[in-house]
Amino acid sequence: DQQVKQNSPSLSVQEGRISILNCDYTNSMFDYFLWYKKYPAEGPTFLISISSIKDKNEDGRFTVFLNKSAKHLSLHIVPSQPGDSAVYFCAASARNAGNMLTFGGGTRLMVKP
């Protein structure tokens, strides 16, 4: 069973507009959520995280929102830039149960100039 799901395999956005990437999870034990960006043939690069005690975390152009009741999180990128084009992975962990990351399947973001 997929405990972390990213239902949109791809997303295309115009430069300067907002990109919204979504992620759903099923495991109530998850208490830490992260977004990673990945280019082909490279390792995932950490972008931003959020603890389950918060509902929003912001870092520059990146904001992550967490809706615990809906078991849903989203990553907002404003404004989107062509250099943001990559695959974005949502990940979740239960930090008191090993902290291993469970990843979603990824969303390919394409930002058009």
Positions touching another protein (CB under 8 A) are: 32, 34, 36, 41-46, 49, 89, 91, 95-106
- Of the two residues 91 and 111, which places its CB atom closer to another protein in the complex? 91
- Of the two residues 5 and 71, which places its CB atom closer to another protein in the complex? 5
Cα(34)–Cα(32) distance, integer angstroms: 7
Cα(50)–Cα(57) distance, integer angstroms: 6
As measured in angstroms, the least distance from the Cβ of 107 to another protein is: 12
31 close to 51: Cβ distance less than 8 angstroms: yes
- Of the two residues 38 and 76, which places its CB atom closer to another protein in the complex? 38
As measured in angstroms, the least distance from the Cβ of 73 to another protein is: 16
104 close to 16: Cβ distance less than 8 angstroms: no
Neighbours of 17 (CB within 10 A): 13
As measured in angstroms, the least distance from the Cβ of 38 to another protein is: 9
